[in-house]
Structure 1
Amino acid sequence: MVVLVAILAGALIGLSLGALGGGGSILTVPALVYLVGMDTRAATTGSLVIVGVTAVVGMLAHRRDGHVRMLQGVVFGLVGAAGAVAGTRLSLAVAPEVLLAGFSVLMLAVAGIMLTRRRVPAGSGGPSMAERIPLDVPIITFKPRFICACPRAAKVVVAALAVGLMTGFFGVGGGFLVVPALVLALDFPMPVAVGTSLLVIAMNSATSLVARAGSGLEIDWTVIALFTGAAVIGSLLGARIVTKVRPQTLQIAFAGLIIAVGLYTAARSFPALLG
C-alpha cells in the first residue's frame, strides 16, 4: 500500500512540476508525513531529493525545447542559495508541529496565488520592460542607451531569497514564486519561465541538502526512490502537457487539491501545536 501511495503521489507532483514549474511539489511533505508515515524532518529532507531530481529531469526536457535560460536561472539560484542555507538551519531548530502548522498556512497561500494571479499567455513576453516601468520609478540612462529599473531588480532578489528560504525550511521548490518573478520582472514567456524555474528549484534543493548533511536523520530511501521515480515520469509528461493544455486549467485543478491538503494539514497540526 505504501508503495502504491508513493508512486501515485510522486506522479502527481512530477506532473505539476513539469507542466507548471511549481505548485505540486508543496504536496510532497504532507504526502510523506500523512500517507507514508515519515517523520516531519525526514520528510522535508526526502522532499528535497524528490523535488531536486524531478526538477533536473524536467529542466532537461524543457531545455531540449529551448525553454531554459541558463544564465538567468543560475544567477537566480545563486542568490537564493543564501536563503536556502538559512531556511535549512531554521527548519532543523523548530518543533515538527510548528513546521507542519506553518506548512499548512503556506499551502493555502500558494493555492490562493495560483487561483488569483494573472498569467501572461504562453509564447508572449508581454509588454517590454521600458513600457512597464512606472513613471515614478528612477531610471538611469547611459550612452549607449541603458535602462536600470532598480526597484524591479530588487524585487527579483527578494523573490530569489524568499524561494531559497522556503526551500530550505519546508523542503519545497518554490516555483509558484519563481515563475511569476521571471515572467513579470524579466519578461520571460511562460514556457521559458516554467523551464528556467526548474533550474532554480534544482539549485535550491541541492544547496539545502548539502546544508542538511550530517544531521543524523533516518530516511527510508526505498520510499524516496519510488516516489522520485514516479515524479520523474510525471515531470516528463508534464513538460509535454504544457504545450497542449492551458496552464490555467491545470492550475485550478492543482490549487483545489492543495487547498484540501492544506486544510487537512492544518486540522492535524494546529491542535497538536496548541495542545
Structure 2
Amino acid sequence: MLNASGWAATFAVGFVLGLLGGGGSILIVPVLVYLFLFSAEQSTGLSLLVVGLSTLIGLFASGAFKSVQIKTALTFALPSSLGAFLARKVLLPATPHMVGPLSRDTFLLVLFAALMLVVAYRMVRPEKAGLAGDSKPNGSLTLAELAKTSMIGLFVGMVAGYLGAGGGFLIVPALNQTLGLPMPLAIPTSLAIIAAQSLIGFTGAIGNTHVDWPFSIGLTAVAVAGLVTGTQFKSKVNPAKLKPAFGYFVLVTGVFILVQELVVKKAHTG
C-alpha cells in the first residue's frame, strides 16, 4: 500500500509539473523519503535524475524548447551544472554525519523544508510583472555581467545539487532581472538550465550514493507519464490560478517535514 501511494504520488508530481510548467518537482524528495522510505541523501540524489529528465521531456512536449535562448542558457548552465556536480561529489560527502544535534539526513531535510517554504512564498505571493524588454542580445554580456551570472549560476547549482531541487525560483529572476531576458523567454530558458544542471548534478551522486537503477528508471517513467498527462490538460486550466493553491500545499508539506524531523523524531528518540 505504501509503495502504491508512492507511485501514485510520483504520477501526481509529474502531472502538476506538466500542468504548471514547473514547481511540482520539489515534491519528489518528500515522496521518496516518506513514501518510498529512502534516506534523504539517496532521495536528493535520485530527485536530480527525475527532475532533469522530466524537465527535459516537458520542455519538448510543450514546445517550449523553441523559445530557449541557447547562448544565455549555456552562460548560466555551465557554472550552475558545475556547482550541482561539486555539491553532490564533494560538498555532500564532506558534510559530517552529525551536524550539531542533527544527523546528516535530518540536516538535509530541514534545509530542504526551508527551501520549500521559500518556494511556497514565491508561489503564493502576487506575481510582479517581469521585465518585458531591454533584454540583451542572446549571449551578449559585458565581462562584469558574465562574472555576476557565473557566480549566481554556481551558487544556484550548489543549492540545487545539494538539496536535489530544480532551483527555477532562483534561475528565472536571475535571467529576467539580472540579464534582462523577457519572461516568455526566461521561463523556457530556465527549464533548459534546470535539465542540464540536474542531470550533471546526478552524475556527481554516482559512486557516492547507491543508485537502484530499475527503480530509478521506473520512477522517472511514472513521473514523465504524469507530466505528459498534465500537459494535455494545461490548455483547459489557468496555471496562474492554480499556482497559489499549489504553493499552499508546498507550504504545508514543508511544515510537515519540519515537524516530522524536529519534533516527532526527537520525541521518539528522546
The answer to whether TM tops 0.5 is yes
Q: Residue 66 of structure 1 aligns to a residue in which SS?
A: helix
Q: Which runs of 5+ in 2 are unaligned?
A: 96-103
Q: Given the superposition, is the C-alpha separation of residues 180 and 168 from structure 1 closer, same or farther in structure 2, using an over 3 Å criterion?
A: same
Letter in 2 for 1:126: A
1:207-246 Cα shifts (integer Å, max 9, x gaps) = 212222211x334444433321222123334445555543
Write the distance in 2 (CA, Å) between the matches of 1:149 and 1:248: 34
The answer on 1:108 being equivalent to 2:117 is: yes
The within-5 A match list for 1:127-206 is 127-129=133-135, 156-206=149-199
Asked if 2 retains the 8 angstrom alpha-carbon contact of 1:153 and 1:185, the reply is: no
Write the distance in 2 (CA, Å) between the matches of 1:191 and 1:129: 12
Q: Given the superposition, is the C-alpha separation of residues 102 and 67 from structure 1 closer, same or farther in structure 2, using an over 3 Å criterion?
A: same
1:163-191 Cα shifts (integer Å, max 9, x gaps) = 20122101111112222322333444444
The answer on 1:229 being equivalent to 2:238 is: no
Please, what TM-score do these two structures have when normalized by structure 2? 0.80
Q: Which runs of 5+ in 1 are unaligned?
A: 131-146
Moved more, 256-265 or 180-189: 180-189
Write the distance in 2 (CA, Å) between the matches of 1:73 and 1:168: 18
Structure 1 residue 16: Cα displacement: 3.9
Counterpart in 1 of 2:251? 259
Write the distance in 1 (CA, Å) between the matches of 2:23 and 2:11: 14
The answer on 1:40 being equivalent to 2:32 is: no
Write the distance in 2 (CA, Å) between the matches of 1:258 and 1:10: 15
1:42-76 Cα shifts (integer Å, max 9, x gaps) = 11111111111101101222446623222221221
The within-5 A match list for 1:207-226 is 207-215=200-208, 217-226=209-218
The within-5 A match list for 1:20-99 is 20-63=20-63, 66-88=66-88, 89-94=90-95, 95-99=104-108
Write the distance in 2 (CA, Å) between the matches of 1:28 and 1:153: 32
Asked if 1 retains the 8 angstrom alpha-carbon contact of 2:46 and 2:202, the reply is: no
**CA RMSD between the two structures:** 3.0
Aligned-residue sequence identity (percent) comes to 33
Write the distance in 2 (CA, Å) between the matches of 1:120 and 1:240: 27
Asked if 2 retains the 8 angstrom alpha-carbon contact of 1:183 and 1:189, the reply is: yes
How many residues matched? 255
